[in-house]
Amino acid sequence: MPLCSATAPVAVRCTLVRVPTHPTDIRKRIKQKKKYKRTQKSYKRMFSQVKKMSANTSTKRTASEALTAEAVTTTEVKKARKAKGPWMPTEFDYKGNPVSIVVEKDRAGELIPKVKIKGDEESKFASQFNTPCLTVQYNDLKQGGDTGKFGKDETNYKYNIKAVRGLPDNVAKAMPEEEKRQEAFWQWVENTCTDMLTKAFETSGCMENHKKKAAKAAKKNKTDALKEFLNGATLSMMKEFTDQDGDEQQMFVAARRGQYKDENGEYADNRPVFWRRTQTGWDKMDVKYISQGSILKYQVGFRAYSTPNMYGVSCDLGKNIVVIYQVKKPTQTNSSEPEVPYIEF
């Protein structure tokens, strides 16, 4: 055998790689790699921030939007804090006694004493004064007032409150001086009526027929004519009722016409407006009824009247009523059914 033989040629592919051999070239290569890595990290941080900003775009506001929203919120808070309530400017005991008595002609042309607020005697509007907080004994404040009672119908019904003195413990604790004001109010009403009737007695042409009757009674009884005139008057706001113990108690009564004519000459309901105090102002109340024992504060005015058979003073119920405390109406059960236990059989 031959020691060597010829073989087919084999193709070999070679890739030439330039390997830096000089130290300067090696350092440049290392710097380029580091720079490339820093650039890649910078790009990643930038794209991450852009992504976060895009995600928050829907929840973020511009400076202008933020200022506008803040202004609106502030305005709403101010409105809530300044929520206006009922127009009830004059307390019955304002500066001691805010009453001034004048004599004017009524719609029939008759001279009649009227109550005005001191300093505003020329006003053509009816003067109204705030009561203290009073306890409701009876009332006709539901829609329609006293319709169906005492021959009243939808043409002549009235709204009324019959109130008494005294307060429940929780209200008295919150308003410790209010029961004293109740006593002062009772006396103030009586004094105001006396002043009105005295003014009528002293004014020529005012209630002359009744003054003549008083003079005759004074001559017969050997008393004073003014005293007879005052005793003969009817104070319609002062009524009495019998309590659970059989004792007679006084009630203060104020009434309001059920209807009035509007601008179009049509009759409209004249029910009072109910209010309650809130932490931020006032709210109007949608009241269906007022239960006995509820505490109200309301407006009243005085009205002198004279007919051929009687004369006196009554009190008008004003437009606004503040509900201080409302007693919930108890659930009524059918008392006609006997009370017996259930026994299965």
Nearest C-alpha neighbor of 321 from the set 81, 80, 85, 79: 85
Res 343: pLDDT: 86
| Residues across the chain | 345
H or E segment at 210? helix 208-221
Res. 333: pLDDT tops 70:
no
Contact 314, 305 (CB under 8 A): yes
Res 43: pLDDT: 65
Res 335: pLDDT: 66
| Token couple for 7 | 């073989």
User: If you average pLDDT over every residue of the chain, what do you get?
Assistant: 85
Average pLDDT over residues 307-323: 97
Which has the minimum average pLDDT: 38-42, 152-156, 157-161, 271-275?
38-42
CATH top-level class for 99-325? mainly beta
Q: How many C-beta atoms surround the C-beta of residue 195 within 10 A?
A: 17
Sign of the CA dihedral running 140, 145, 149, 151: positive
pLDDT (tens digit, 9 = 90+) per residue, 208-256?
A: 999 999 999 999 999 999 999 999 999 999 999 998 888 999 999 999 9
Res. 74: pLDDT tops 60:
no
Which of 264 and 215 is assigned the larger pLDDT? 215
Q: CA-CA distances (angstroms) from residue 52 to 41, 59, 98, 121, 231? A: 17, 12, 70, 73, 90
Q: CA-CA distances (angstroms) from residue 272 to 88, 218, 265, 283, 302? A: 13, 43, 20, 14, 17
CA 310 – CA 297 distance, rounded (Å) = 30
Average pLDDT over residues 137-150: 96
CA 170 – CA 272 distance, rounded (Å) = 26
Which of 71 and 1 is assigned the larger pLDDT? 71
Nearest C-alpha neighbor of 189 from the set 247, 226, 239: 239
Which has the minimum average pLDDT: 77-86, 207-216, 313-322?
77-86
Query: Residue 68's pLDDT band (boundaries 50, 70, 90)?
Result: low
Q: What proportion of the chain, given as a percentage, has pLDDT over 90?
A: 64
Average pLDDT over residues 127-151: 96
Per-position DSSP letters for 215-240, written without gaps between them: HHHHHHHTS-HHHHHHHHSEETTEEE
- Pairing relationship of beta strands 311-325 and 273-277 according to DSSP bridges: parallel
Res. 169: pLDDT tops 60:
yes
Per-position DSSP letters for 66-88, written without gaps between them: HHHHHHHHHHHHHHHHT------
N-to-C CA span, the chain? 128
Q: How many C-beta atoms surround the C-beta of residue 223 within 10 A?
A: 13
Res 80: pLDDT: 47
Q: How many C-beta atoms surround the C-beta of residue 35 within 10 A?
A: 10
Query: Residue 141's pLDDT band (boundaries 50, 70, 90)?
Result: very high
Res. 75: pLDDT tops 80:
no
Nearest C-alpha neighbor of 241 from the set 255, 232, 256, 253: 253
Name the residue ranges covered by the structural domains of the chain: 99-325
Res. 279: pLDDT tops 70:
yes
pLDDT (tens digit, 9 = 90+) per residue, 4-54?
A: 444 455 555 555 545 555 556 666 677 777 777 777 766 667 666 656 655
